[in-house]
Structure 1
Amino acid sequence: MEFTKMHGCGNDYIYVNGFIEEIAAAKKPELVRRLSDRHFGIGADGVIFINRSSEADFEMEMYNADGSRGEMCGNGIRCVAKFVYDKSMTDKKSVSVVSAGHIKYLDMTVKNGDVDTVKVNMGTPILKATDIPVISDNEEVIDEEIEVDGTIYKMTCVSMGNPHAIIFMDDVASLNIEEIGPRFENHLRFPNRINTEFVKVIDRHTVEMRVWERGSGETLACGTGACGVVVACVLNGLTEAEVTVKLLGGELHIVWDRAENLVYMTGPAETVFEGEIHI
């Protein structure tokens, strides 16, 4: 099977051209786990299959490193745009990509014939607790208490196609995320597990973030998480609606257009290497 290793701000995935490679759906979870293993496989935060679609220009079929299916990946979908353009699967600089039934629209900036950065219309943030989902007595979860391992945190929950709990902190650099991340991910208040962002606000236009992603652990970046963070910042009165989100793997530019109620994400997409592996 041919593959391409790509990343957006260090959030790395293995990309497979589903137009060419035909793999039975039942075999994909185990294949994903094997390929994602950083010691015995290629190594990645997951695998993304790029398929034909009757709803959009392309389909993104995304899997986390543990073989579970993911609904959306902001960094991953930018790389999908780069993949299809750089490989001449399209000559359009604006494409639509569907993932788990949700269509996103992407605009590419091309330099020297290859895609450099991608702007994604990430859609409308979902704030209703039952739709995220998160168990709560309130219709929306904004600055709400949650107890994890005997400690009380304040969380704001947002879905950008997948669920996020945002926790604001004075310091994220020294956070023992390997210990606390799984506690949030598997907390009883999150029926479908949760992605958790731990955030330090630097100023009205800049935040720093670390993320624990369900099914993958700590990653160097999370595009949907960065979008959710900016929405949470605005809802809590902490920043403006245009913010640079600093992640371990780089920076993303996020804008929440309040008039349209749409979130836009702009960031890099890079190819690391290509190869072939026996499956």
Structure 2
Amino acid sequence: MRPLRFTKMQGIGNDFMIVDGLTQDVSMSPSQISQLASRTTGVGFDQLLIVEAPTHPSADFFYRIYNADGTAAGQCGNGARCFAKYVYDKRLNPKRSLTLQTETSRLTTKRLSANEFKVSFAAPQFDPEMVPFKPTGQSHPEVSKWSFEAPGQPAVKFGVCNVGNPHAILQLSSAAPSDLSEWATALTTAHSFPHGVNVGFMEVMNEHEVRLRVFERGAGETLGCGSGACAAVAVGRQWQILAPSVKVHMPGGTLSIAWQGGKNKIEMTGPAIRVFEGSAHLSP
């Protein structure tokens, strides 16, 4: 088998292996993807992005997203910026603005500089059926707040939304380093989320700034999550505690998120960095 050519990229520490599926065969099993994702014996990444031809005439590219465990994902905000950077670096399309398709959504990217990109997503969806979310706990009078109680833990309030993939956002007094994995695991595996969920822990510093940690389904805690940043701001706006423009600080860096509410698109601006080029051989 020929070596698989790839580019390693990262956006605020959220890292990706990007493969051109237009010029090479990239058929891979979930086990092969997880082998490549290994940080000790493989390339190492949070998600794999595969470039494909668009399926709609208005789109420039289609791309598939796979988590480190080999499962498919519908959306990835940091990945969208890195994908646009890849297209720019590889000269696959000369346009400054691109329309991209994923399995679950359509989005636009705009190159602001060689390493900075803006992504515009469809308006967040809060309807539990669209997340999807099947609430079993008691709802609260506050807008879009739900209650969840893990075994042996006190109940917490959280919000849900879909920004191309499902997110649950919990507000904490501090998102400083601590073991939040039990909460994340409990929510990710809860029957209320039939397709699993990405879990974000948000600390509101003021109406224009938050700190955020995100545990992504299929990848665990990552240094940054673009869709998670969008979801946190969207939920915060629904709760009327955040302004239309917010800086979201994550362990790997900061993203700028803007959302005017309602049916308006939500916008994310941040860096995209090429790390290295390489090739890999797939194990059977």
Q: Give the conservation status (yes or no) of the 8 Å contact 1:129–1:141.
A: no
Shift of 1:258: 2.6
| Equivalent in 130, 135, 143 of residue 145 of structure 2 | 143
- Equivalent position of 1:3 in the other structure: 6
Q: Which runs of 5+ in 2 are unaligned?
A: none
| Equivalent in 144, 151, 157 of residue 160 of structure 2 | 157
| Equivalent in 64, 74, 86 of residue 71 of structure 1 | 74
**Misfit runs of 4+, over 3 Å:** none
SS of the counterpart of 1:21? Answer: coil
| Equivalent in 12, 16, 19 of residue 13 of structure 1 | 16
| Equivalent in 87, 109, 112 of residue 106 of structure 1 | 109
Q: Give the conservation status (yes or no) of the 8 Å contact 2:19–2:26.
A: no
- Equivalent position of 1:54 in the other structure: 55
**Superimposed CA distance per residue, residues 84-117 of structure 1 (whole angstroms, 9 cap, x where no aligned partner):** 111110111100110004210111113xxxx211
CA distance in 2, matches of 1:233, 1:158: 11
TM-score, normalised via structure 2 length: 0.92
What letter corresponds to residue 50 of structure 1 in structure 2?
A: V
Q: Give the conservation status (yes or no) of the 8 Å contact 2:7–2:276.
A: yes
Q: Does 1:125 align with 2:128?
A: no
SS of the counterpart of 1:81? Answer: helix
CA distance in 1, matches of 2:127, 2:274: 37
CA distance in 2, matches of 1:129, 1:19: 37
**Superimposed CA distance per residue, residues 134-160 of structure 1 (whole angstroms, 9 cap, x where no aligned partner):** 11277x982211112332010000100
**Superimposed CA distance per residue, residues 254-279 of structure 1 (whole angstroms, 9 cap, x where no aligned partner):** 00123652101111100001111112
Q: Which has the higher strand share?
A: 1
The 3 A distance-change label for structure 1 pair 268 and 37 is same
What letter corresponds to residue 47 of structure 2 in structure 1?
A: G
CA distance in 2, matches of 1:9, 1:93: 22
| Equivalent in 179, 183, 186 of residue 186 of structure 2 | 183
CA distance in 2, matches of 1:186, 1:258: 30
| Equivalent in 231, 237, 240 of residue 228 of structure 1 | 231
Residues 22-101 of structure 1: matches in 2 within 5 Å?
22-24=25-27, 27-55=28-56, 56-101=59-104
CA distance in 2, matches of 1:91, 1:105: 15
Cα RMSD (Å):
1.7
CA distance in 1, matches of 2:128, 2:159: 10
Q: Does 1:249 align with 2:248?
A: no
Identity of aligned residues (%): 35
The 3 A distance-change label for structure 1 pair 141 and 21 is farther
Q: Give the conservation status (yes or no) of the 8 Å contact 2:237–2:261.
A: no
Comparing 175-184 with 239-248, greater Cα deviation is found at: 175-184
The 3 A distance-change label for structure 1 pair 234 and 96 is same
**Superimposed CA distance per residue, residues 181-213 of structure 1 (whole angstroms, 9 cap, x where no aligned partner):** 212111111111110000000011000000000
CA distance in 1, matches of 2:241, 2:104: 33
SS of the counterpart of 1:104? Answer: strand
SS of the counterpart of 1:257? Answer: coil
Comparing 100-109 with 70-79, greater Cα deviation is found at: 100-109
Matched length: 273
- Equivalent position of 2:175 in the other structure: 172
- Equivalent position of 2:215 in the other structure: 212
CA distance in 1, matches of 2:36, 2:85: 21
TM-score, normalised via structure 1 length: 0.94
Q: Give the conservation status (yes or no) of the 8 Å contact 1:141–1:157.
A: no
The 3 A distance-change label for structure 1 pair 52 and 28 is farther
Q: Give the conservation status (yes or no) of the 8 Å contact 2:104–2:164.
A: no
